[in-house]
Structure 1
Amino acid sequence: MIFAIDEINQNSNILPNITLGFKIFDPCYSASRALQGTIWMLGKVKSVPNYNCKFQERLSAIIGAFLSTSSLPVARLLGLYHHPQISHASSISLFSNKLMFPSFLRNVPNDNFQSTALAQLLIHFGWTWVGIVASDNDFGQLGSQNLKREITQTESCIEFLEVIPTQNSRPSILKIAAMLKKSTANAIILYTTIENLMPLMEEVFVHNISGKVWISITSWSVSSDISKKEFLQLFEGSIGFALHSGEIPGFKQFLYSIHPSLSPDDIFIKTFWEQAFGCKWQDNETSQTSKLSEEKKGIHCTGEEKLEDLAVSIYDVYNFRFTLSTYKSVYATAQALHDMFTCKPGSGPFYNRSCANYSDNIQPWQLLHYIRNVYFKTDAGEEVFFDKNGDPPTLYDILNWQLYPNGSGRYVKVGYFDNLAKGGKKIIINDTAILWSKSHNQVPRSVCSESCPPGYRNVVRQGQPNCCFYCSLCSKGEIANQSDMAFCIRCPDDQWSSDTRERCFPKTIEFLTYEESLGVTLTSAAFVCTFITACILCIFFRFRETPIVKANNRDLSFLLLVSLMLCTMFCLMFIGQPTKINCMLRQTSFGIIFSTSISCILAKTITVVIAFNATKPNSKLKKWVGSKLPNSIVASCCLIQVIMFAVWLTAFPPFPEQDLKSKDENIVIQCNEGSNIAFWCMLGYMGFLASISFVVAFLARKLPDTFNEAKFITFSMLVCISVWMSFVPAYLSTKGKYMVAVEIFAIISSTFGLLGCIFFPKCYIIITKPHMNTRDYLLGRRM
């Protein structure tokens, strides 16, 4: 402050012909003394507010206090007079309330931003499990509550929040130390003032609590107290925030030029000299109270000691933090006075555009107006201004306390936090510049539970914070493509999860193809069945004039063989990717053709019954003997099926569809039958025809068997009905291509059954026993 005032008084560009003076009052960390000093500075005699018995020097503004607890009563008092107060260190968010503190301004950021910065620091290092130790005062309570809210919003967790009593009672300190020792959190935020912190750190040192990363805040991060020898190893690797350090041109030389002989009336310099150099002045009363070790008391100060020889940890002339804030505060006051004094009448900010009359006693509220609106740049190029809440721009340095092999230590700037940074990234940290403590080879871990890898989701342990969890593998069809996901993501319907549940991949297309073994087998079986049927047809055609072929309606036998051959050929329509035409034709063509086959068998069965009963005398069935009745049976039975299919295709035509849900890892391309009722009606109708054929054939099984096919038809219908009755549950219990395979198998099996039971015995006689395929032989057997 003295340097800044001297610099201003020597600068002809600011407040020319006006000399600034100052008063200094040390409140000694006491709020009551700070209030007493404020009343004294305001010129109130005997500390009586609102009373002034004599003229005092003009007091422009008050710079300070350092502690927020000291600034609070001062700000309340000065707010009554609207007297400007610019603090260089008080940071609690409460001061931004202009209804409570209308005349308070500051050159340190609002603590709300420090809470935000601390939360982002935790995110950067992945510390989701932290502890907080706070002072039991407005600074600690308000700050820790803001910090707790910010940490909670980032989904991190707080293991504990302990409060250091203002009296620093030993039992309370021991309790907090024990908590720190058993804590599983390695990142501990010390949201305290330095006078509350030191007793706790002494206990931490005594109890040898190691492995913790102490996270500092602006109130103590650069305090000289933590550079004491017993604390060097304790704070090794610590990281935290400090006020932005900047350059003050000429200030380094000013600090090195300080000497007791140059300022004999300065009450601080000699005491500082004794403590800095470990000596005592022979004629200095302060030497009696200087805190020197026993071995140092015999050393006398000569005045020839050089400040340049002092270590940076003792006399830092490079990193100006609260110093820079004080410097800006003095300049803000001087700039506001300059703006007020250079006001031109008629263009002022007050009533009737008037200016302040500085020849009289300037009203505090007038100067307050100018300080609120001040804007300038320091010689180092830093902007100085206040927002509507009296707060400056928010900029913090991120410091890392590093210990070197020679036993010395210092804090190193490793990043910064800028609330006004462009691009949205407010915190920047150079991780390679950080030196952690010896117990940590890399970034320390401070988590309640280790991260769940991709493919797993976090399941919170019952009764514990959400940072304490166990990992559960995502269900099938779900993925977790990042670590520590609370919920798994369901794959789209056309995709499926990998075995590791880390990503979705497209489902494979599934339909019965000619290339796969199942398709090849069924295709081969269909060709074999078609070939055998064609061979039987050829044999019957070759021997069409023989009695065994002519028996029981030769034309129906040919029609039956052709329909069976077409049935097996149309099986191929079920193989391959379904198309619209394919889906519409395959069930209808199969239904009509197979119904024709069953109708032929029914007609043959009825022909057998009529033929043997028509031989009885006076039988009325003689008129039904011939081809008219069987042809009518086949035509009428097929016509009913054709009508059913016409209605089906008109009202509910089958179509191809993608079944995304029946199989997990496949998209089944299949035919939607359009109407399940129509499909089952088609099968039911064929079953009805087969059942009638079976019943009629069963009843006629004992007729003379020379020309009788009833026994063979009975067995063939028994096989056919058994196949299709087995088909129903098999069809309903399968999905995708296997449904198609089941239907093809049923068609081929029933065809083989009909061929084997009806035609194989006849072919056996025709080929191997031609003597039995004569009319005489057949008639002989009947005789």
Structure 2
Amino acid sequence: MVYATMEINNMPDLLPNVTLGFKIYDACYNEVRSLMGTMWILSGKKDFVPNFICHGKFMPSAIVGDMPSKTSMPIAQILGLYRYPQISYGSVLPFLSDKIQFPSFLRTVFNDNNAVFAFAQLMMYFNWTWVGVITTDNDLGRSGSQLLIKEIEKNGGCIAFLETLPTYSSMESVFRIVDVVKKSRATAIVVYSTMENLIPLMEEASFHNITDKVWVGRGSLSISSDFLKKDILKTLNGSLGIAIQSGKIPGFKEFLYNIHPSKFLDDIFMKTFWENAFGCIWPAEETNNYTSTSTKPSDAGTPQCTGKERLDSIDPSLYDVYNFRFTYKTHTAVFALAHALHQMSSCVPGHGPFKNGSCADIYNHQPWQLLHYVKKVKFNNTAGETIFFDENGDAPMYLDILNWQLFPNRSTQYVHIGSYDASAPIGHELQIDQSRILWNGGQIHAPLSVCSAPCPKGQRRATRQGQKICCFDCLPCSKWEIQNPADNSECLKCPEDKWPDTLKEVCVPKLIQFLSYEEFLGASLAGISLILCLLTVSVLCLFIIKRKTPIVKANNRELSYLLLISLILCFLCSLVFIGRPTMTTCMLRQVVFGVIFSVCLSVILAKTITVIMVFSATNPDSRIRKLVGFRIPRYIVPFCTMIQIILCTVWLASSPPFAELNMAAEIGTIVIECNEGSKVLFSCILCYMGLLAFISLLVAFLARKLPDTFNEAKFITFSMLVFASVWVTFIPAYLSTKGKHMVAVEVFAILSSSSGLLVCIFFPKCYIIIIQPQMNSKRYITGRSSNKRGL
């Protein structure tokens, strides 16, 4: 305050030609003393007379102080009656913001209720959900702790215990609280208490060697050097503190290092400070042109003060000239009053804020007139910070987050690790630099303070019955669910097109699966299909080249050519099943398959009936002989095929196949497959093919004993047995597979059944044509035929 007054008096642009003075009273942390000082200020003399002012020429314009809330309250109640301006630099009690009870009270510090939000966010930042709270049994402790508990629980935390320190010294309460702290699983303990009540508790905690807790304190706990004198350093090591913002006061460090008893002859505390700081005694005689009387009892072992001791040699933890907190707020309060007085002195008559535009006289004004200017003051202080008061007389809240660190040489240091700015955007108020924090035991990671350990990935919380929500068991999420990032007490079901990752943290897109040409299975089936197609083409070419040979003629060349062409198409139609299913390919798949196989089976049926009719015609009594002239086999193929075409047309017109995404076929996979549309019509198409195959097998079986040379019936019978075996086997194999393998099974069945027809019907003839050409003669065929008939 002295330095700020000297600065203002030396400023040419702030209160020019006006010299500020001051009077200092010490309330000694005592309400009665604070009231006495207030009465002296108001009356001007120690013998207080209510409503009488006994000042000489000037009366103090305002009061700066006090620091403790308990002493500021009675002062504010008295000064409020007269609207006498009061600016405190340390009183944070929330009730002081009530402008009805304290209309003239302002402060350069924050409302302590707002600090609760900083505490709550600090707990949330370090994920401390199981928190102990120790408070003092006074207005500040009761209101602050209840609001703190509400905020912690609002953020998802829980209170492990709430213990209250009595305002009077009670070691019984201290013992009980220390026992609770020792037994609790809570590692983080918020101390919402005044310093004088807290020292016995810290001493007892140190006696019990409680070093596994993180103490989070407020106010004096964060910056007080009183704890350095106690044997509690190991207990508080690594603790966190929320302190009033520190600020820069240019030139103040040099001012503090230059103070000397010779410069402040009237300061009653200067000699006492000097003796305690340097451990010396002032001599009784006159020294250095000033008279000094010792304030300490004479001790032969104590040296005398010389006046040449250097203040910069004192430990900064005892004489801190670097971190100004309450000092900075005091400096700001004095400048706020100076700026208010400056605005008052700059008032232009006729444009003033009072009745009829009048102004106040800076040398003779009423207290309420200065209060008007103080409430509206707004300026940048010497540190560049904008200073103003809100409607409750509170300054903007900006807090420093500190970490108390103990070093091996027993020295300590408060390290600035972050800040809390209430004016910052929501969610960005708290800023922490974790790299600067040193926890107890030298740990670099924040300790856990939870009732139950966090659930592993992919599990949810299940609250234990009768306990707080922070105490829970962990249950795994189901296979289709992930842990809810917003609320880990429940799991979230993934959308149909997604599934949980391995840790069940996020839903990832499912793999798209279909039988493609790029993979080995699809490429292999396509390659086999093309090879068999080329093989069938080769057989067809061979039959065309050898079309005039007896064995080709004897097996109905036209039907053989048609059967080979249909087999070529059978092999090629399997290619439609490979690749990404679309609306077009889904419609073509089963239709092409059904029509081509119907042609193939119809040709086989026609060939079988031709063999029967040929050999039956040789019997004069056969009724079939009369039908030979009608050339019935020629009509079998188009008739049987037309029935299948009609069925397919009705199917496509009424309920055609379409591509769809099968989410449930395989875990983590979306299978693109063809939905057959009408199951009934699709079944009709398959049943019709089965009917043709059964009739062909039956007719071929009945014709199996006809003469061998001209008889294809045995080969057809065997081929149809292979065909039936493949498709009978196909049904359970198809139903037991999923995804793309279902399509692969169907393609394999198409290739196998078609290959069976090709091998069983045409390979014996190819063998004769290529390997045994001597058997491919009319004489041989006729001779064998006669022998058979003779038998």
TM-score range, shorter chain: 0.7 to 0.9
C-alpha deviation, 1:200, in angstroms: 0.7
- Aligned with 1:220: secondary structure? helix
**Residue number among 378, 386, 389 corresponding to 1:386 in the alignment:** 389
Larger mean CA deviation between 28-37 and 130-139 belongs to: 28-37
- Aligned with 2:167: secondary structure? coil
Which position in structure 2 is the counterpart of 1:690? Answer: 693
Larger mean CA deviation between 587-596 and 12-21 belongs to: 12-21
C-alpha deviation, 1:358, in angstroms: 6.8
**Residue number among 752, 756, 774 corresponding to 2:781 in the alignment:** 774
Task: Determine if contact 2:707/2:789 at 8 Å carries over to the other structure.
Answer: no
C-alpha deviation, 1:230, in angstroms: 1.9
> Cα gap change, 1:642/1:52 in structure 2, threshold over 3 Å: closer, same or farther?
same
Which position in structure 2 is the counterpart of 1:368? Answer: 371
Which position in structure 1 is the counterpart of 2:349? Answer: 345
Which position in structure 2 is the counterpart of 1:462? Answer: 463
Distance in 2 (CA, whole Å) between partners of 1:472 and 1:426 is 35
> Cα gap change, 1:591/1:10 in structure 2, threshold over 3 Å: closer, same or farther?
closer
Which position in structure 2 is the counterpart of 1:445? Answer: 447
C-alpha deviation, 1:774, in angstroms: 3.4
Deviations 1:305-326 (A, max 9, x none): 8472543333334433212222
Distance in 2 (CA, whole Å) between partners of 1:529 and 1:61 is 108
Which position in structure 2 is the counterpart of 1:354? Answer: 358
- Aligned with 1:336: secondary structure? helix
C-alpha deviation, 1:20, in angstroms: 4.2
Distance in 2 (CA, whole Å) between partners of 1:692 and 1:412 is 96
Larger mean CA deviation between 718-727 and 342-351 belongs to: 718-727
C-alpha deviation, 1:594, in angstroms: 1.0
Match runs of 1:530-609 below 5 Å: 531=535, 535=539, 538=542, 542=546, 546=550, 550=554, 555-576=558-579, 583-605=586-608
C-alpha deviation, 1:371, in angstroms: 0.8
Deviations 1:446-501 (A, max 9, x none): 34389979x92463363376767788888778888999988888888777776567
Task: Determine if contact 1:512/1:740 at 8 Å carries over to the other structure.
Answer: no
C-alpha deviation, 1:223, in angstroms: 1.7
C-alpha deviation, 1:225, in angstroms: 1.0
How large is the Cα RMSD of the aligned pairs?
4.9
Distance in 2 (CA, whole Å) between partners of 1:248 and 1:72 is 28
Distance in 2 (CA, whole Å) between partners of 1:732 and 1:715 is 26
C-alpha deviation, 1:443, in angstroms: 3.8
> Cα gap change, 1:632/1:764 in structure 2, threshold over 3 Å: closer, same or farther?
same
C-alpha deviation, 1:92, in angstroms: 3.5
Amino acid at match of 1:245: S
Amino acid at match of 1:319: N
Task: Determine if contact 1:130/1:189 at 8 Å carries over to the other structure.
Answer: yes
Task: Determine if contact 1:530/1:569 at 8 Å carries over to the other structure.
Answer: no
**Residue number among 409, 414, 437 corresponding to 1:411 in the alignment:** 414
Larger mean CA deviation between 199-208 and 39-48 belongs to: 39-48
C-alpha deviation, 1:370, in angstroms: 1.0
TM-score, length basis structure 1: 0.80
- Aligned with 1:221: secondary structure? helix
> Cα gap change, 1:383/1:619 in structure 2, threshold over 3 Å: closer, same or farther?
closer
Match runs of 1:283-294 below 5 Å: none
**Residue number among 392, 395, 399 corresponding to 2:398 in the alignment:** 395
Distance in 1 (CA, whole Å) between partners of 2:294 and 2:177 is 36
Which position in structure 1 is the counterpart of 2:638? Answer: 635
TM-score, length basis structure 2: 0.80
C-alpha deviation, 1:332, in angstroms: 2.2
Distance in 2 (CA, whole Å) between partners of 1:739 and 1:407 is 76
> Cα gap change, 1:296/1:708 in structure 2, threshold over 3 Å: closer, same or farther?
farther
> Cα gap change, 1:164/1:584 in structure 2, threshold over 3 Å: closer, same or farther?
same
Which position in structure 2 is the counterpart of 1:139? Answer: 140
Distance in 2 (CA, whole Å) between partners of 1:642 and 1:560 is 18
Distance in 1 (CA, whole Å) between partners of 2:199 and 2:44 is 36
> Cα gap change, 1:612/1:171 in structure 2, threshold over 3 Å: closer, same or farther?
farther
- Aligned with 1:778: secondary structure? helix
Amino acid at match of 1:597: C
- Aligned with 1:349: secondary structure? coil
C-alpha deviation, 1:444, in angstroms: 4.0
Deviations 1:486-531 (A, max 9, x none): 8888888777776567885884764242762564266336634762
Task: Determine if contact 1:279/1:298 at 8 Å carries over to the other structure.
Answer: no
Which position in structure 1 is the counterpart of 2:178? Answer: 177
Which position in structure 2 is the counterpart of 1:193? Answer: 194
Distance in 2 (CA, whole Å) between partners of 1:569 and 1:414 is 74
C-alpha deviation, 1:686, in angstroms: 0.9
Unaligned runs of 5+ in 1: none
Which position in structure 1 is the counterpart of 2:163? Answer: 162
Match runs of 1:198-217 below 5 Å: 198-217=199-218
Which position in structure 2 is the counterpart of 1:520? Answer: 524
Deviations 1:261-296 (A, max 9, x none): 77676554565556545567899xxx9999x9xx97
Which position in structure 2 is the counterpart of 1:114? Answer: 115
Deviations 1:163-199 (A, max 9, x none): 3222342222112212333344444332221111111
Unaligned runs of 5+ in 2: 285-292
Deviations 1:308-350 (A, max 9, x none): 2543333334433212222322332343234334433211112
Amino acid at match of 1:563: S
Amino acid at match of 1:175: R
Amino acid at match of 1:227: L
Which position in structure 1 is the counterpart of 2:515? Answer: 511
> Cα gap change, 1:608/1:178 in structure 2, threshold over 3 Å: closer, same or farther?
same
Which position in structure 2 is the counterpart of 1:330? Answer: 334
Task: Determine if contact 1:498/1:505 at 8 Å carries over to the other structure.
Answer: no
Distance in 2 (CA, whole Å) between partners of 1:458 and 1:228 is 49
Task: Determine if contact 2:536/2:567 at 8 Å carries over to the other structure.
Answer: no
Which position in structure 2 is the counterpart of 1:62? Answer: 63
Which position in structure 2 is the counterpart of 1:244? Answer: 245
Amino acid at match of 1:52: N
Which position in structure 2 is the counterpart of 1:312? Answer: 316
C-alpha deviation, 1:366, in angstroms: 2.6
Distance in 1 (CA, whole Å) between partners of 2:684 and 2:104 is 92
Distance in 1 (CA, whole Å) between partners of 2:265 and 2:618 is 155
Distance in 2 (CA, whole Å) between partners of 1:769 and 1:41 is 142
Distance in 2 (CA, whole Å) between partners of 1:781 and 1:670 is 54
Task: Determine if contact 1:514/1:575 at 8 Å carries over to the other structure.
Answer: no
Distance in 1 (CA, whole Å) between partners of 2:619 and 2:566 is 34
C-alpha deviation, 1:95, in angstroms: 3.5
Task: Determine if contact 1:533/1:755 at 8 Å carries over to the other structure.
Answer: no
Q: How many residues were matched structurally?
A: 770
Q: Percent identity?
A: 46
C-alpha deviation, 1:657, in angstroms: 6.4
